[in-house]
């Protein structure tokens, strides 16, 4: 399966090996791992929510777009959901191509679109529960939208 | 028709999904939101700033002027923050 949404952790090395297995035409593999980041002990955990069905379909659609734009020998995308502790994995993107540029660009493209157009939402659980005056839902970042726009094909 | 709510829209409405029969005159996503808001303060709260609420119709992200003709499933949620 190219696209997986799961509560369990993943192993980037294992996924790389799985993608390359039996193929000798791959010249470059790029892996991106997104981690749950804590800033000075503020965060207790992240809660990842998704829209089952649409989330899988949307990632699949983004993968297909990447495969149309770059000559890829393989793609794996894994997105975790549920409660994720600081330091733990959230998302994995692996791209394989004959040459590095396609693998790098495709991985970046996939991450930019994953962040802005796949139906996932992050909620922060704070270590200091007294400080949690807000609802905890992470706001969408304009910088992520800008990052996505740079992939628009010129007419 | 099935309606799903996610993230803070789910928390504000106090439900993750429900099945509704659209009343006469509700033909677009925007009209559905207007009607939902008449159902109680929790819905008014969830949709108080409509432009921050995204909508998907049959699992496709759409604008609020989209028609609900032959639609099985509508979902409301905040801008996405995955990755």
- Structural domains in chain A plus CATH codes: 3-149 (3.90.1170.40)
Looking at the complex, report in whole angstroms how far the Cα of residue A2 sits from the nearest Cα belonging to chain B.
16
Does any CB of chain A come closer than 8 Å to the CB of residue B6?
Answer: yes
Rounded to whole angstroms, what are the CA distances from A15 to A1, A98, A106, B38?
Answer: 11, 18, 17, 50
Strand order in the sheet with B73-77: B17-19, B2-5, B73-77, B54-57, B60-62
> Hey, where are the domains in chain B?
2-77
Chain A / chain B CB contacts < 8 angstroms: 69
* Per-residue pLDDT reduced to its tens digit, A117-133: 999 999 999 888 766 55
Q: Two tokens at A11?
A: 């192993």
With b for 16 or more beta-carbon neighbours within 10 A and e for fewer, the A10-44 pattern comes to bebeebbeebeeeeeebeebbbbebebeeeeeebb
Low-confidence residues of chain A: pLDDT under 50: none
Which DSSP symbol is given to B26? -
Chain B residues in contact with A51 by the CB 8 A cut-off are: 4, 6, 56, 59, 75, 77
From the list A74, A81, A69, the residue with the least C-alpha distance to A36 is: A81
The reported pLDDT for the residue numbered A127 is: 85
User: What does CATH list as the number for B2-77?
Assistant: 3.10.20.30
pTM: 0.93
The reported pLDDT for the residue numbered A133 is: 54
């Amino acid at each position: 399966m190219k696209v997986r949404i799961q509560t369990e952790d993943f192993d980037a090395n294992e996924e790389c090996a799985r993608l390359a297995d039996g193929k000798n035409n791959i010249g470059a593999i790029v892996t991106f791992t997104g981690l749950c980041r804590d800033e000075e002990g503020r965060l207790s955990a992240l809660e990842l929510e998704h829209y089952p069905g649409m989330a899988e379909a949307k990632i699949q659609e983004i993968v297909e777009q990447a495969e149309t734009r770059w000559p890829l020998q393989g793609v794996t995308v894994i997105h975790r959901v549920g409660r994720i502790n600081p330091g733990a994995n959230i998302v994995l993107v692996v791209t394989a191509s004959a040459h590095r540029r396609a693998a790098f660009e495709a991985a970046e493209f996939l991450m930019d679109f994953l962040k802005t157009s796949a139906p996932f939402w992050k909620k922060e659980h704070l270590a200091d529960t007294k400080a949690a005056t807000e609802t905890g839902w992470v706001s969408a970042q304009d910088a992520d939208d800008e990052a996505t726009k740079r992939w628009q094909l010129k007419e | 028709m099935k309606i799903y709510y996610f993230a803070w829209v789910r928390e504000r409405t106090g439900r993750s999904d429900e099945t509704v029969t659209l009343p006469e005159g509700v033909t677009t996503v925007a009209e559905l939101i207007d009607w939902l808001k008449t159902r109680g303060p929790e819905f008014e709260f969830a949709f108080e700033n409509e432009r921050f609420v995204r909508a998907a119709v049959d699992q496709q992200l759409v604008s609020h002027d989209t028609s609900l003709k032959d639609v099985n499933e509508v979902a409301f949620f905040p801008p996405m923050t995955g990755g």
